[in-house]
Amino acid sequence: MSAPRPASPRPEGQRLDHHTLERYENIWFGIAVVMALFLFVTVLASFFSGTYPSLTGEGGHHITGVKNGRLNPKNLAATPFATPGLRQNADGTYEAFVVAKAFQFEPAVLKVPVGKPITIHVTSADVLHGYFIEGTNINTTAIPGQVSSFTTTFRRPGTLNVICNEYCGTGHHNMINAVKVEVQEP
Ligand code: CUA
């Protein structure tokens, strides 16, 4: 018992009957299934082949308490992140440890020597934060449980602002700190 349909604008012969529509729908559904399977397989493949970034983080592989770029964010005390800041290793290389937490970076001011390669390790003590050094291409994410590491050389002395560019909560806009690039006394 269906109401009479309004006259189709198409001539009788071209009207889409439900068999045709179902065939189209089956085709679309088939394409969607193939795409979903493809995504599923590629995600799994990247997971097992180790190209999934968070599984093979090389960040800080030599750091105490850090394994495969990972650490326990609740136990930063067992890592050098317990005392954030710059240090010089026995071989003369520089490493800096930075902890992002709501809503500040530690150390508040990271002092680094000019013209020396410095490896900076960043992690978060709580939620996702950003670590962007103004005027440079240094821009990483501070992830709880992971270490983001990069090596850079600051070419000019001066003070650069560090900002959190990942929304992290009510104090997000206050997360501004500094890197102070200093000329070392000979
Ligand atoms: Cu930390 Cu936004």
- How many whole angstroms from 122 Cα to the centroid of ligand 1? 13
The residue whose CA is least distant from atom 1 of ligand 1 is: 129
Check residue 59 and give its pLDDT: 53
Residues 100-115 have a mean pLDDT of 93
Report the percentage of the chain scoring pLDDT > 70: 85
Confidence category of residue 71, pLDDT binned at 50, 70, 90:
confident
Check residue 78 and give its pLDDT: 86
10-67: pLDDT as tens digits: 666 667 788 888 899 999 999 999 999 999 998 888 777 765 554 444 555 578 888 8
Q: Is the pTM of this model over 0.75?
A: no
The residue type found at 154 is F
153-178: pLDDT as tens digits: 999 999 999 999 999 999 999 999 99
Closest CA to 100 of 163, 57, 161: 163
The one-character DSSP state at 33 is H
Residue with tokens 């399977």: 37
Work out which ligand 1 atom sits closest to the CA atom of 173. 2
Cβ distance 111 to 118 under 8 Å? no
Torsion of the alpha carbons at 112, 113, 119 and 124, rounded to the nearest 10: 0
